[in-house]
Amino acid sequence: MNDSFTRRAWQASWTCVLLLALAAVSYPQTAHSSQGGWLKDVPRLIDRQAKHLFYLHGFIVENEGIRPTSPRYGVYEYEQIVRTLVNRGFVVISEARPKGTNPEVYAAKVVTQIQILLKAGVPPQNITVVGASRGGAIAAITSTLLKNRDVNYVIMAACGNSTIYRNFKVDLWGNILSIYDYKDDGATTCRPFFDKSTGVNRRQEVVLKLGIGHGILYRPLPEWVEPVVEWTRQPRKGAARRTTHREVAVTFDDLPFVSVTPRDDTAYTKMTADLLRSIVAYKVPAVGFVNEIKLLDAGEQSDARVSLLRMWLDADLELGNHTFSHLDLHTTPLAAFQADALRGESVTRNLLAKKKMPLRYFRHPFLHTGRDLETKRAFEQFLRERGYSVAPVTIDNSDWIFAAAYARAKERGDEATATRIAAAYVPYMESYFDYYERQSIALFGRETKQVLLLHANLLNADCFDELADMMLRRGYSFITLDDALQDTAYDSADTFTGTGGISWLHRWALTAGKRDEFFRGEPATPEFVVKEAGL
Ligand SMILES: [Zn+2]
């Protein structure tokens, strides 16, 4: 089957498609189906309120019937899976496909079924296609053919080097959840599809750590059933934005790039392009803080490196000063530190001037702001006189530990470990959002506008989409640093002179006399990540 055939099928008049569908229906009908039910085709009486879910099983059911046994994974409990989904309130449309079914032909059938539901008034967000392995490939083809941004899809263990995709170019549309197990030897990340697709609305990838590979598909495991149910409940991206009540400014430190490995200009350029593509796609008005020492290559200013900064500016993003050589104010005399800050602004200031932008933000390396009030105040006065505002951080975290672990795993070609680290990263960051949202309420009685610190590294280049999705899911909108600093919380007294490079929320809390129990519950970096980072 080719695209033009499918397009012709869609252009058939609706009456015609509907009659054909009615003629084919011979299964029990449910008029009051909001309780859930199992149908083999779209019902004659369509309940517009019901959540409809297509379940497309794996290849083994085509070949060996509805309760096949794999020597490796055991029994494929097709009926149990469908019943579990019915019990979660879905009208499940699922049938055992005949042996030798052509995925593209079957996907065209699902497209027609979805069109019937849409035509009957079922909102697209109440339609979900869940496909496992071969069924997942059919779901991906369905998404490509249907081209509806609001229909939900769950692609389970179906991305990777399947021969199906050699003949069919996938272009995903809709809300796509990918689920696979990290020990699967065939199915891997859907990222290459995500990156090439043109109609993805929401996207997420869940990497299970059950270690049973393709075995996850064989039973209705809560590890995948729950994310599926959750995925069908989520509001549309636009809707989430309208009800947003949280705001965050996103900042990146250590520009142009902090890289454990690889370390060459081609790699830097690719990583920067990847990161910026995500930042721009999510319309995040980020600020990047530069260490100009990194513009040197063998002691000479490198055009290639300066170009990386131009890429940020060409993406309409702002740059700030992070000192020339990332000195530590806690171990450097004030005069030397000030000299390094000044040395760190020359290229950046020129580049900004070409865009008619001022250089207005300074971020302390290590977030170290001085071990005594005199030094701290003197440096802040120095910054003010040069037109700088300090760029504080409220959502502090250890993304750099994850990044080091991730880069090392990538360098030795250990994709399983890299994937495991990336999969742990977004939940870890979300736990920090949760923590600082609560800290903010504990201190101010409300959630302040937040400032997030990230680093310009390979991990964030690869994962920023997922991070941004997480923030949107939590109801955040992305604001400028300037906007964040308008929040009166940022005028709070800060006399913190401790050793830590800590969140400004905690500096304000300490200054306000908060002690021990106030700070409890800060998330920890998973042990395996610390170990993989080799720190
Ligand atoms: Zn830094």
* pLDDT tens-digit map of 231-274: 998 765 444 444 458 999 999 999 998 876 667 888 899 999 99
Model pLDDT, residue 535: 81
Mean pLDDT computed over 498-511: 97
Say whether both 30 and 130 belong to one domain.
yes
Whether residue 362 lies inside any domain: the answer is yes
- Tokens (6 digits) for 17: 């498609």
Whether residue 47 lies inside any domain: the answer is yes
Q: 124-150: string of b/e by CB count within 10 Å (b at 16+)?
A: bbbbbbbbbbbbbbbbbbbbbbbebbb
Whether residue 239 lies inside any domain: the answer is no
Q: How far is the CA of 366 from the centre of ligand 1 (A)?
A: 6
Domain count within the chain: 2
Query: Residue 127 — very low, low, confident or very high, per pLDDT cuts 50/70/90?
Result: very high
pLDDT higher than threshold 50 for residue 169: yes
pLDDT higher than threshold 70 for residue 370: yes
- Tokens (6 digits) for 116: 């019937």
Residue 502 near residue 518, CB atoms below 8 Å: no
pLDDT higher than threshold 60 for residue 19: no
Q: How far is the CA of 516 from the centre of ligand 1 (A)?
A: 27
Residue located via tokens 């059933």 = 225
Structural domain including 168 reads 3-234
Q: How far is the CA of 451 from the centre of ligand 1 (A)?
A: 15
Residue 370 near residue 497, CB atoms below 8 Å: yes
Whether residue 65 lies inside any domain: the answer is yes
Q: How far is the CA of 403 from the centre of ligand 1 (A)?
A: 14
Q: How far is the CA of 294 from the centre of ligand 1 (A)?
A: 12
Q: How far is the CA of 251 from the centre of ligand 1 (A)?
A: 11
- Tokens (6 digits) for 264: 């060459």
- Tokens (6 digits) for 427: 């939940």
List C-alpha distances in Å: 146 to 10, 130, 143: 9, 15, 5
- Tokens (6 digits) for 232: 């069908």
Helix (H, G, I), strand (E, B) or coil at 143: helix
* Range with the largest mean pLDDT of 153-167, 260-274, 476-490: 476-490
Q: How far is the CA of 288 from the centre of ligand 1 (A)?
A: 11
Say whether both 259 and 164 belong to one domain.
no
Q: How far is the CA of 324 from the centre of ligand 1 (A)?
A: 11
pLDDT higher than threshold 90 for residue 5: no
Say whether both 16 and 51 belong to one domain.
yes
User: For residue 107, which of 86, 148, 136 has the smallest C-alpha distance?
Assistant: 136
Mean pLDDT computed over 385-401: 97
Helix 504-511 vs helix 415-444: angle between axes, to the nearest 10 degrees? 30
Q: How far is the CA of 506 from the centre of ligand 1 (A)?
A: 19
Model pLDDT, residue 292: 97
Pick the residue with more confidence: 455 or 473? 455
Say whether both 313 and 254 belong to one domain.
yes
Q: How far is the CA of 61 from the centre of ligand 1 (A)?
A: 54
Q: How far is the CA of 510 from the centre of ligand 1 (A)?
A: 23
Q: How far is the CA of 38 from the centre of ligand 1 (A)?
A: 56
Model pLDDT, residue 244: 53
Say whether both 156 and 205 belong to one domain.
yes
Say whether both 435 and 464 belong to one domain.
yes
Q: How far is the CA of 436 from the centre of ligand 1 (A)?
A: 21
User: For residue 140, which of 153, 152, 127 has the smallest C-alpha distance?
Assistant: 153
* Cα(198)–Cα(220) distance, integer angstroms: 31
Residue 127 near residue 119, CB atoms below 8 Å: no
Q: How far is the CA of 411 from the centre of ligand 1 (A)?
A: 23
Residue 302 near residue 256, CB atoms below 8 Å: no
CATH number of 129's domain: 3.40.50.1820
Q: How far is the CA of 320 from the centre of ligand 1 (A)?
A: 12
Q: How far is the CA of 501 from the centre of ligand 1 (A)?
A: 11
User: What 8-state DSSP symbol labels residue 330?
Assistant: T
CATH number of 512's domain: 3.20.20.370
Q: How far is the CA of 322 from the centre of ligand 1 (A)?
A: 7
Say whether both 308 and 161 belong to one domain.
no
Q: How far is the CA of 285 from the centre of ligand 1 (A)?
A: 19
Residue 442 near residue 518, CB atoms below 8 Å: yes
Residue 247 near residue 476, CB atoms below 8 Å: yes
Whether residue 241 lies inside any domain: the answer is no
Q: 65-90: string of b/e by CB count within 10 Å (b at 16+)?
A: eeebeeeebeebbbeebbebbbebbb
Last residue of a domain, one of 181, 211, 234: 234
pLDDT higher than threshold 80 for residue 192: yes
Model pLDDT, residue 8: 32
Q: How far is the CA of 400 from the centre of ligand 1 (A)?
A: 10
**Pairing outcome for strands 69-70 and 74-75:** antiparallel
Model pLDDT, residue 386: 96
Taking phi over 0 as left and psi of -120 to 50 as alpha, with beta for the rest, 78 belongs to alpha
Query: Residue 3 — very low, low, confident or very high, per pLDDT cuts 50/70/90?
Result: very low
Mean pLDDT, all residues of the chain: 89
Q: How far is the CA of 483 from the centre of ligand 1 (A)?
A: 22
Mean pLDDT computed over 501-524: 95
Q: How far is the CA of 268 from the centre of ligand 1 (A)?
A: 17
List C-alpha distances in Å: 307 to 59, 272, 339, 511: 49, 10, 25, 42
Last residue of a domain, one of 206, 234, 262: 234
Q: How far is the CA of 5 from the centre of ligand 1 (A)?
A: 55
Say whether both 230 and 251 belong to one domain.
no
Q: How far is the CA of 326 from the centre of ligand 1 (A)?
A: 6
Say whether both 398 and 521 belong to one domain.
yes
Say whether both 222 and 327 belong to one domain.
no
Q: How far is the CA of 467 from the centre of ligand 1 (A)?
A: 20
- Tokens (6 digits) for 436: 């600082």
Last residue of a domain, one of 184, 210, 234: 234
Whether residue 240 lies inside any domain: the answer is no
User: For residue 420, which of 230, 257, 188 has the smallest C-alpha distance?
Assistant: 188
pLDDT (tens digit, 9 = 90+) per residue, 62-114?
Answer: 999 999 999 999 999 999 999 999 999 999 999 999 999 999 999 999 999 99
pLDDT (tens digit, 9 = 90+) per residue, 406-431?
Answer: 999 999 999 899 988 998 999 999 99
Give percent of the chain with pLDDT exceeding 90: 78
Q: How far is the CA of 367 from the centre of ligand 1 (A)?
A: 8
- Tokens (6 digits) for 390: 């300090």
Say whether both 219 and 270 belong to one domain.
no
Residue 358 near residue 387, CB atoms below 8 Å: yes
Model pLDDT, residue 162: 83
Model pLDDT, residue 328: 97
Whether residue 107 lies inside any domain: the answer is yes
Q: How far is the CA of 365 from the centre of ligand 1 (A)?
A: 5
Mean pLDDT computed over 368-378: 97
Phi/psi for 260 (5° steps) reads -70, -45
pLDDT higher than threshold 90 for residue 443: yes
Q: How far is the CA of 423 from the centre of ligand 1 (A)?
A: 24
Say whether both 160 and 200 belong to one domain.
yes
Q: 286-319: string of b/e by CB count within 10 Å (b at 16+)?
A: bbbbbbbebbeeeeeebeebbbbbebbbebebbb
Whether residue 314 lies inside any domain: the answer is yes
Q: How far is the CA of 254 from the centre of ligand 1 (A)?
A: 5
